[in-house]
Each structure stands twice: as structure tokens, then as C-alpha cells.
Amino acid sequence: MKVTRRDLLLLGAAGTAGLVVTPVPWKLLDDVSIWSQNWPWIPQPTRGPVEVKQSFCTLCPNGCGMRVRMAAGWPVGVAGVSSHPISRGALCPLGYGAHQLNWHPQRLRTVRHRANSSSWGEARAAFAKACSEGRIAIVDGQPGRAASSVMKTFVQKRDGSYRVALGPESQALAPYEIWSGVPAAALGYDLENAQTVVSFGAPLLDGWGSPGRFTRLWAERAAGMADPQLRLIQVEASLSGTSLSRTAARAWQWVPVRAGAEGALAAGLARALLDEHLVSVSARGPMPPLTVAQAAEQTGLSTGAIVDLARTMIARPPVVAIANDGNPAIAALNVVLGAAGARGGIVRRSKHAESYASAEGVIDSARAVLIDSTVPWDFTPKTDAEVFRFAAWDGGSSKADWLLPAPGFLEELTDVPTAPASAVETYAVAPSLVKAPPEVQSAAQFLGGIDPASITVEKIIHTRCDDLFRGRAGTLHGQEATPVAKVESVQKLEEQLWKGAVWIGEPPRSGDFRCELKEWPATGSSARVVNRSSVNWSRAWLAPVLPPLVSKLCQESSLREAPERRNS
Amino acid sequence: MTTARTTVVLGLGLAIALLAGWVAFPRALYVQRHQPLEFLHKTHAEKSGVAECSQCHALRDDGTFAGIPPMETCAGCHSERMGTSKAEAILVDNYIKPGQETPWLVYARQPANVWFSHAVHVKRGALACAECHGTYGETDEVRVYEQNRISGYSRDIWGHSMSRLRRAPGDGMKMGDCEDCHRRRNVEAGCLGCHK
Amino acid sequence: MSARYGMAIDLDRCTGCGACMVACAAENNAPPLPQATPRTGLTSMLVRQVSNGMEGAARREVFIPIMCMHCEHETPCVSVCPQQAVEVDKATGIVMQMPQRCLGCRYCMTACPYHARYFNWWDPAWPAGMEKSLNPGVAARMRGVVEKCNMCHARLHSARAKAAAAGKREIDPADYIPACVEACPTEAIRFGNLADENDPVSRDAHSPDAFRMLARLDTEPKLYYKSKEAWVRELAESKSGRGPEVKHG
């Protein structure tokens, strides 16, 4: 019996017909379609229980309350905390992408000595050698923390110098320290009680202070209103061809001054206020050297406009002027307005602050300079000393001899002292929510390794909680607001703080500080051209990189200019 | 060629196809995998007094379902060996002591884009565990985990019956099976009601 | 029982900070896409900066958040989809996009009058390790499918699970707040149930300053905008020829 072609064909036909009534074709179709939807290279989210923990954003000194959703120990989402009395549930656009920062491609993971890879052992040896050979200077970007205390103690023991690199909100308060003797760190703006705010280029609605503070005040009292309770006057240079800054676009009144002439305008306004007797005699401050006409020439506004602006400014008191940098002319204007030490103006929020030496000057006679990871990347120390720089992300070229990987976002325990410009003292504890990778170390830990006698950050925080409890002052804002006087024990207070509560001090009293100013300060050419780029978020943002989703916001929309560094 | 021969050849072809399709194919399609250790539900329930499914397979307060309990739950009693079984030895030595989660093979694992809420189905829908998962939990059966070589999912999703006919309750967890039950009970869901 | 979820966006309050855009991207596992441009990006929530076209002291600018309008009447994307990958949910009024069902023809992107739909030109990828930060409530998509705002459905899922676990039939409105609404520091974007006349969003929708985008198309969007400024309200019909979009970079 030969097997013929016909046999094979019949076999094939029957086989095919038979296959159709088996699961094979149908199951294979189904399985292949599922296979094609499950490519292994598409990342999948973690499975597992999600818990919500509370801490504070530590990427700028404002310390907004932050709720973090965690899955399998990793942060998978963030949101604000509405019970936080200052941030009131808001976060800035950078905060919303912050939980991804620790995996940014520019994350620093190894110690670098100039261009080469090195180790912590070598860095420690080099620093210890420097300590034995000369004086040490330390630069801190966020003074007032427990870690700051560790750094200060270290240099004090060795006759070194402790300096701070402050952001623009704090710099603007520096002139008052000279005129009143009260440290700038004890001062703030009482915006909650102001009715007219004149900003000289400060981006109050876009990256100034905690976004939940002034932006919310403005939203509640001014947005969309023809006659707002809070009058925001934005003095800002008009650069043709570019759009308005967000604050200028939303302000009640925009005053287009010539770039660099903010100080001249402040002088002109003070002159108008004094000449026209618009301010009370007791608040009479020093006479500015410019006449209104001279100010008009420098600013590009007419004399009439300047006088009108002066009248408008004091039409709805309390009024306060806010500078975008340390320009003393605007501070002097506040003295003339009577805002220094008054309700709605510059107020003293604390009795216990200290004066800081600025890191902007030349750091001479130092053998080594240590820069904490809280100092913004673009800070370059004016020194010839050996520079040890701590940072969690690499911002590109820098003057550092040693680049030391520091803990990143929410990777270390820290505390949150009062935010710059705040009208009341606050204190909070930001627990670490994410396990730090083994290769990182903070400046405070590093110094602790050199000097075994130094106290740990955790102990200092414990002492501070103790002090707060014994002070019996202020209120604890957790799920509810409890006066400290009613808190039963220091353990209860600490427990609340560790869970995300915020301590807030007594409201400031007017008359708590006074400025003496005999002569109008020399303006110089210190007033910088206001940065009008729409990348106008907090200049106090510490990391040299943006969260990847914020870079995405710049690249995939026209909303903000793309910064130089991309997220790839 | 004779009709008889034609019939034989056709019959042979048909027989081969049917055998290949119904017998060989299911065997080849699935790879047999075993759980990391043999957990005997009935014996465990009797010995520990844990009689309700929900005591270990718990619903959390926020409405999410714990699924197979985490190692922490087992460690609540088994931080040290309590008995003499080989399975417990594996549990304690390989997982509880080193602090590793036991890599259970989940029969009902659905793709990542599926959102199934046990809270909604068990509490609001008053569905008994056995209706979807069968009575496996009341026995000492340790089922083999049959994994589809192509899709990667458990055989339980298509169901043991390759033809998807004459199935036991709970056999089959494809989207069509969910839709059938929803239709029977007249509960609308909409696409994103069940998908992420 | 059935709701009609919608939003009221107060353009007088929007400062264009972009927090809503970032929060939306984070919630929905949007990949960073270093290679994307404004034409090829994935911005389910997009804020546009529009001026009144004038210079100097007369210049006014406004920021307009645009996302899926969840149209109710002859929903354009639903009517063109060959795959039925998008439909209007009867229980919530949300226009639900199923990327897993989409075959990527992009007909819906053409049909949408608001340009609120985005295509995955690339497979999503993150820098090494960053996938650990993905939101477990939202599935990842692959290249070749369209996606858009789904009103943060993951949050609705959590709210439903929580209500069911507590034995309740209805969700607690405080448990279902979309990411953009939660992120907005000025509360410019408000979310609520348009079917409930006592809901503040429902009341905002009926205010004299409220308007909808391209209302003449009769798509009945469920996103209402509000502004006291007439030139902003005029932008909605896109007829005046004024209001060029401000572009940077």
C-alpha cells in the first residue's frame, strides 16, 4: 500500500478541519494577543500595600508639609498637607515631582576628587589633615537646622568660620539688621495683615516663599476682584518681546520700570511721600537724595505717575514693600512708609535668632571650605582653599575639589526651622521616609565621623523638642490645633512632631523692633535686572536639577522655558 | 482510490488533529510549577483554629485586599518552628528568618491593567470566596501551578476546561467571565470601573 | 446614584504655576520623555499662556488649563473610535479612555476639538530605578496608543474600595479629588458633581461669568471656565483672532 500525495492532502485537510474544533487556534490567538500586550520592557508599578506617611519637603527652606504615598518602601506620589498653617496644603510644581528625584540620572553616588573617583576614607583623611593644618570655613544654605548646629559647633571648637548662603527672601531683610540691631533671621513680613503689597520684582505669585502662603492669600483676597482687599502692585521691568512674569500678569497694578532702576523708584516714591506729606511725621525717615523728577528720568516713568503711585500705595494701609534682593533702597522706603516694625509690615517673629555671616564675601585665611548640600549649586565660594562640597545631585562644573554624595529627598532625618519671610516662628521635624543608599553621607554625619564628641542631629532635635515643651508657648498644629501649654508631656509633643505636626509661635507684636535710619542708604548698582524668564520658581530651590516631570513640563509645553539641563 | 481508504485517511487526519489539539496541546502549553512550600489549608485551619478565609486573606481598612498574607502574618505564629513538617521548615528557614517574602505563585493573578476590588465584591456584592476561587481553601489540596508558556498567566484564568464548557464554579477568570456574572446580576461597571 | 463629574476653573485665580501639570503627570505615570516636544508630548493636563495681543501697559495675559472636557453630547472621540476604546460612563459621566483597547489610529485625536488627546509615540521609559516611583493605581501604557485625562480614575477606585470596606453605598466626596484639583495652590480648579444642584461646582457652572470652550460646537463639555474679564470669555469661541498663545523656548 503506497502512501500517495492524495493521502497526504486528505490527511492535511482532515487535520486542519479537526484543528478548528480543537482549542488550538482559538487559545493560541488569545495567548498571543495577551503576550503582545505584556512586553517585558514596559516598566510596571510596584504591587503591594500603599501607606501614606507625612513629612516635609526639604528641597528649599520653606519646608512645605508633604504627604507621601509609599508602596513597598518607595514613594509613589506626593500631596500637600492642608492642616499646615503656612503651606496650607499647597506644594510648588517642583514638589509634585520631587519623589522621583532620587533616581535622577545626575544623582551623585561616588566620592569624587577633582576628576577622579575616590572614597569616603580618603575624603575624611584629607579633611582631617586640613583641620590640623589651618582654619575651616563651613557654608550652610539652610541655617537653623539641627545639622546647622552640628556644623557651627564644629567650627567654633576650631576657631573657624560659619557662614550662610541665603536666598533672596532672606537677603531682602538684611538691611533692617544693620539699622535695628535685630538679626535678619528674626524678621519676617506680616503679609497676612497687609492690604497693599508693593513688590519690586519679587515673584510673589511664582516661587516666592511657600506657594500656599502668599498665593492663597492673593487668591482669597484679590483674584478676580475689581476692588480687592489685598492690592498687589508689581514693579517690574518691561522687556519687549517677552511675556509678563506671572506676578505682573496677575497683579492689581503693574508698574513697568526701567530695568535696574528699582532703587531709584523706591527713592522717588519715598521723596514723593515726604514732599507731599503723605506719611505721618513720626514715620518720617531720611530724605532720599533724588528728587521725584530725577527718579522719573532714571525709571522711565513720569513724575505724575510716581506721585500717583505714592498716593495709591498709602491709600489702603497697612502697606509693605518687598525687594527681590538686598537692595537697601526698598528697605529704606519701608522705613519711610512706617512699615518697619508695624502690623502688616516687617515684624519681629522671634527673640532668639542670631546674626549670620554671609558666605558671599571673600573667605580668606581658610585652609578648607566645607559646603553643605543645602547650598544652591550656583554658589561659588570666593576662596583659594580646598573645597569639600556635599551634594545629592551633580549640577555640572563647580569649583569643588571634593564632591561628596549627600542624602537625597527624604533620605535623612532633619528638622525644619522657620521659613524665610514668615511672620511667625515655626518648627517641624521631617523624618526620613526613604532608606538612604549606603554610599551617601550628610555633612553633619561626616563631621561626626571626624569629631566623635559631636552631638547627633537626632539628639539635638530631641533637645529642641524639650525646649519647646518647657517654653509653654505657641500651638501645635496636627490633626487639631493644641496650645503647647495643654500638651501633657514632652513625649507627646515629640510624638506629634514626628507624625507631621507643626509648632507655630506666638503672633508678632508691633513695636517689637524699631529701625534707626538717619541717611538714605547708598543704592549703588546692586539692583539686578529681574530674571524675567518663566523659569521663575523659588530661587532657593536647592537641587541643581529639576524633577524629571518638571523638565517634561518645560519641553512638552510652552508654559515654561526649558532650562539648560535636560532630564536625560 | 477506494472510499474506504479515503475515509480511513480522513479519519486518521481528524484523529491526529483532535488528539493533538485536545490532549497534547494542553500538556505542551502549560509548564508545571510548584509552590515554594506545601501549605495545607484544612490541616492548618484545624491546628491553628483559623477557620475563616478572611482571618489571613484580609481586607484592609482602606479597602484594599491583602491577597495572600505577607510573611509578617505567618511570622506572627511561626517565628520559630512549631511542628515537624518539612513545609514549615522551609517557611521558617528560607523565608521568615532571613526576612524574605515567600514567592507564592498566585493562581488568580490578573494583568496589571485590571482593577478588581475585593471590598466591592465581597462586602457589597456579598460574594462567597468559593464562588470565584472554588472550594480549594477548604481542602488539603496543593494544586500545581500551571503556567501558560506564551502569555505567562496561570491556567486558572482561561479555566481548566480547554473548551470553556461544563466548568466548575470559579473555573475561569477572563474578562468574559466577569461580564457574565455582571450581566446575571445586572450590575453595570463601564470600562474604567474594572480597568486602571 | 449616578453623578456627572465636572470642573469649574476660575481663570482669574490661575497663576500658571504648572503644579497641576506635574501632579497629573506623576499621578498618571507619564514618562519623562526627554525626546518629546510640544507636538509629541504626553500632557493630559496642559496649561496654556495666552495674551490679549497688546504690548506695554495694555497687555493682559491669562493662563488656561486644558484637558479632556468630558463632552456629554455626541462626544466626538466616542463617535469616531473604531475600537470602542472610549465611552461615556453612565454612572459618572466621565469619558473613559481605555489605552489597552486602543489600536492607535488616532482618529479621536483629529476629532477632539480641544486637542486634549495624546499619542504614545514611544514606549515609556524611566531612568534606572525610577519605575519604583510609579503610581500603582494606574496601568502603564505602551507605544502606539492614545491617552487622555480620565479624571484620575485610580482615586475613584480607591474611594469606592474604601466605601465598600466601610459598608457604604456612596463614596465620600473627600476621598475622590483629582490630582490637578488637589495640586492647585489657589484652588482655581474645583471638582464636583454637576448633577447635584447644591454642589459649589454646579453653582459656579451657572454663574454669569462661566463659559465653556467652543460652546458653539454643542459638545456639552463638563468643564466650565470662569472669568470676570470679557476678553478672556471671548477667547472661548476662538473667533476674535486675538489671544495669541505665548510661546517660550
- The residue assigned the cell 533702597 is A329
CB contact (8 A) between residue A22 and residue B64: no
Q: B186 in contact with C at a CB cutoff of 8 Å? A: no
| Angle CA A136–A142–A148, to nearest 5 | 50
| Helix pair angle (A303-315, A262-275), 10° resolution | 70
Q: Is the pLDDT of residue C242 over 60?
A: no
- What pLDDT score was predicted for residue C249? 46
Q: Are C201 and C222 in contact (CB under 8 A)?
A: no
Residues of B in Cβ contact (< 8 Å) with C83 = none
Count Cβ–Cβ pairs < 8 Å, chain A vs chain B. 89
DSSP H or E run through A231: strand A231-237
Distance CA C52, CA C241 (A): 10
Q: Which of A39, A100, A213 should we substitute to test contact with C (largest number of C Cβ atoms within 10 Å)? A: A100
C189-193 and B30-33 beta bridge pairing: unpaired
- What pLDDT score was predicted for residue A567? 36
Cell triple for A194: 497687609
Q: Are C65 and C20 in contact (CB under 8 A)?
A: yes
Cα dist. A303→A256, A269, A293, B48 in Å? Answer: 14, 10, 6, 90
CB contact (8 A) between residue B192 and residue C89: yes
Determine the residue of chain B that is closest to A3 in CA distance.
Answer: B9
Q: Are A200 and A220 in contact (CB under 8 A)?
A: no
Cα dist. C153→A37, B187, B190, C28 in Å? Answer: 21, 19, 12, 10
Neighbours of chain B (3+ CB pairs under 8 A): A, C
End-to-end CA distance of chain C: 48
Q: Are A404 and A388 in contact (CB under 8 A)?
A: yes
Of B17, B111, B112, the CB nearest to A19: B17
Residues of A in Cβ contact (< 8 Å) with B158 = 27, 30
- What pLDDT score was predicted for residue A565? 41
Distance CA C164, CA C157 (A): 11
Query: Tens digits of per-residue pLDDT, C160-196?
Result: 999 999 999 999 999 999 999 999 999 999 999 999 9
For chain A positions 44-63, those within 8 Å of chain B (CB to CB) are 44-45, 49-50
Distance CA A46, CA C137 (A): 10
Q: Rounded to a whole number, what is the distance in Å from the CA of B172 to chain C's nearest CA?
A: 21
Name the fold adopted by A169-349+513-537: Dimethylsulfoxide Reductase; domain 2 (3.40.228)
Query: Tens digits of per-residue pLDDT, B114-138?
Result: 999 999 999 988 999 888 888 888 8
Domains and CATH numbers, chain C: 5-46+65-192 (3.30.70.20)
Distance CA A80, CA A97 (A): 12
Q: What share of chain C is helix, strand, coil (3-state, %, to 5)?
A: 25, 15, 60
Of B21, B29, B163, the CB nearest to A19: B21
Q: Rounded to a whole number, what is the distance in Å from the CA of C189 to chain B's nearest CA?
A: 23
- What pLDDT score was predicted for residue A251? 92
- What pLDDT score was predicted for residue A284? 65
CB contact (8 A) between residue C22 and residue A549: yes
Cell triple for A493: 509633643
For chain C positions 82-111, those within 8 Å of chain B (CB to CB) are 87, 89-92, 94, 96, 98, 100-101
CB contact (8 A) between residue A32 and residue B14: no
- What pLDDT score was predicted for residue A528? 45
End-to-end CA distance of chain B: 61
* Residue A116 CB contacts under 8 Å (≥ 6 apart), including other chains: none
* Percent over 90 (pLDDT), chain C: 87
CB contact (8 A) between residue B112 and residue A45: yes
Tell me the domain boundaries of chain A: 5-35, 169-349+513-537
DSSP H or E run through A357: strand A357-358
Q: Are A231 and A316 in contact (CB under 8 A)?
A: yes
Query: Tens digits of per-residue pLDDT, B85-107?
Result: 899 999 999 999 998 889 999 99
CB contact (8 A) between residue B192 and residue C153: yes
Determine the residue of chain A that is closest to B19 in CA distance.
Answer: A22
Q: Cis omega (within 30 of 0) on the bond before B98?
A: no
Distance CA A137, CA A149 (A): 14
For chain B positions 111-140, those within 8 Å of chain C (CB to CB) are 112-113, 115, 117, 119-120, 123-124
- What pLDDT score was predicted for residue B133? 87
Q: What is the ipTM of this complex?
A: 0.94
CB contact (8 A) between residue C123 and residue A41: yes
- The residue assigned the cell 507621601 is A68
Chain B residues near any Cβ of chain A (below 8 Å): 1, 5-6, 9-18, 20-22, 25-26, 29, 60, 62, 64, 66, 111-112, 148, 150-153, 158, 162-163
Residues of B in Cβ contact (< 8 Å) with A12 = 13
CB contact (8 A) between residue C185 and residue A206: no
Q: Are A106 and A100 in contact (CB under 8 A)?
A: no
Neighbours of chain A (3+ CB pairs under 8 A): B, C
Ramachandran region of residue B28, left (φ > 0), alpha (ψ -120 to 50) or beta? alpha
Residues of A in Cβ contact (< 8 Å) with B153 = 34
In the predicted model, residues of chain A with pLDDT beneath 70 are 239-242, 281-284, 523-540, 562-568
Q: B192 in contact with C at a CB cutoff of 8 Å? A: yes
Cell triple for B20: 493533538
Of A7, A24, A34, the CB nearest to B25: A24
CB contact (8 A) between residue C30 and residue A39: no
- What pLDDT score was predicted for residue A221? 96
- What pLDDT score was predicted for residue B21? 93
Residues of C in Cβ contact (< 8 Å) with B195 = 98, 100, 139
Cell triple for A161: 568660620
Q: Are A293 and A275 in contact (CB under 8 A)?
A: no
Distance CA A494, CA A478 (A): 12
Determine the residue of chain C that is closest to A548 in CA distance.
Answer: C32
Q: Torsions phi, psi of A193, nearest 5?
A: -110, 5
Cell triple for C187: 484652588
- What pLDDT score was predicted for residue B51? 79
Q: Rounded to a whole number, what is the distance in Å from the CA of A249 to chain C's nearest CA?
A: 6
DSSP assignment of A104-156: -TTB--S-EETTEE--HHHHHHHHHHHHHHS-EEEEESSTTSHHHHHHHHHHH
Q: Rounded to a whole number, what is the distance in Å from the CA of C106 to chain B's nearest CA?
A: 19
Q: Specify the long-range contacts of residues B79-87, CB closer than 8 Å, at least 24 apart.
A: B83/B47, B86/B37, B86/B38, B87/B37, B87/B38, B87/B39, B87/B40
C-alpha closest to that of C68 among C180, C230, C201: C180
A161-164 and A475-477 beta bridge pairing: unpaired
Q: Rounded to a whole number, what is the distance in Å from the CA of A405 to chain C's nearest CA?
A: 18
Neighbours of chain C (3+ CB pairs under 8 A): A, B
- The residue assigned the cell 502549553 is B29
Tell me the domain boundaries of chain B: 29-35+104-196
End-to-end CA distance of chain A: 72
Q: Are C151 and C28 in contact (CB under 8 A)?
A: no
Residues of C in Cβ contact (< 8 Å) with A548 = 32, 126-127, 130
CB contact (8 A) between residue B150 and residue A28: yes
CA neighbours closer than 13 Å in the CB half-sphere of residue A135: 14
Averaged over C207-223, what is the pLDDT?
95
pTM of the shown model: 0.94
* Residue C5 CB contacts under 8 Å (≥ 6 apart), including other chains: C70, C92, C93, C94, C151, C191, C192, C193, C194, C222
Q: Torsions phi, psi of B129, nearest 5?
A: -55, -45
Cell triple for C56: 506695554
Residues of C in Cβ contact (< 8 Å) with B191 = 87, 89, 96, 98, 101
In the predicted model, residues of chain B with pLDDT beneath 70 are 1
CB contact (8 A) between residue A22 and residue B17: yes
Count Cβ–Cβ pairs < 8 Å, chain A vs chain C. 228
Q: What share of chain B is helix, strand, coil (3-state, %, to 5)?
A: 50, 5, 45
Strands (E), C1-67: 5-10, 46-51, 61-66
Cell triple for A459: 539628639
